[in-house]
Structure 1
Amino acid sequence: MPLRVLIVEDLPLDAELMALRLQEEGFDPQWTRAQNQENYLLGLEQGPDLILCDWHLPRFSGQRALALLRERGLNIPFIIVSGGIGEEAAVEALRLGANDYVMKDRPARLGEAVRRVLEEKRLRDVHDRDQEQLRLAERVFQNTAEGIKVTDAAGNLVSVNAAFETITGYRAEEALGRNPRFLKSARHDAAFYRNLWATLLETGHWRGEIWNRRKSGEVYPEWLTISAVPDDQGRVTHYVGVFSDITHLKEAQKQIDFLAYHDALTHLPNRTLFRDRLVHALAHARRETRTLAVLFIDLDRFKTVNDTLGHPVGDELLLQVSRRMSEAIRADDTLARLGGDEFVLLLEDADSAQRAATVARKLLECLASSMRVSGHELTVTASLGISLYPTDGEDADTLIRHADRAMYEAKQRGRNNFQFFTQALTDGAFERLVMENVLRGAVGRGELVLHYQPQIALASGRLMGFEALVRWNHPELGLVPPGRFIPLAEEIGIIGDIGAWVLRAACRQLADWDAQGFAVPRMGVNLSVKQIDDAGLTELVASALREAGLGEHRLELEVTESMLMGVPETNRAALNAIKSLGVELAVDDFGTGYSNLAYLKLLPLDRLKIDQSFVRDIGRDGNDEAIVRAIIALARSLGLETVAEGVEEAHQAEFLLREGCNLAQGYLYSRPLPAEALSFPMCFRRD
Structure 2
Amino acid sequence: MVNRFKLSIFERFYVVPFVAVAIAAVVYAGVGVVTGEPASWTVQLITALGCVMCSHLRFPSGRVSGLPMLGVAVTLLSLARPESEYLLSVSIWAVGLLASQMFVLRSIAVALYAVGISTVGGLVFVTVHNELARAGVWSLLAYTLASGAYFGVALLLEFLRARGRWSLEQTFGLSALSLARVAAVVLLVAVVSTIMSALDTAVIPWLERDSDTRLTPLVILLAATLFLVIGQWTRFRRVNQRLSGVVGAAVDLPWAMEGGLRKALELRAKMVLQASETEVRTQPPEHGEIGSRVRLESGIDEYIVASRRLGALPLGGVEQQALTALAHMASETVRIQNDVDNLERRANSDPLTGLPNYGAFQSALVEANENRSYHSGIAVLFIDLDNFKKLNDSRGHHTGDELLKVVASRLRNSVGVRDFVSRIGGDEFVVILTELQTVAQSKELADTIIGELGAPLTLDGQEFTPVVSAGLAFSGHREIDAQLLVVDADRSMLQVKRSRRQGGPAEGSSVSIASHRSTRTNDIVARAINEDRLTLAFQPIVSIDQGRIWAFEALVRYIDPELGPISPSSLVARAKSLGLMDELTRQIVVKAMDAAEKFYAVEPSIACMTVNLELGQISEDHLGPFIREVARSHPNVSMCIELNERSLRSVTDDLRREAEIMQDAGVIIALDDYGSDDSSVGALVRFPMDILKIDKSLIDDLGDVRQREVIKALQGFGDNLDYTMIVEGIESPDMVDVMVELGVRSAQGYYFGRPQSFRQTMDRIRKFGTAAVIS
Normalising by structure 1, we get a TM-score of: 0.42
Of Structure 1 and Structure 2, the greater helix share is in 2
Larger C-alpha radius of gyration, 1 or 2?
Answer: 2
Normalising by structure 2, we get a TM-score of: 0.38
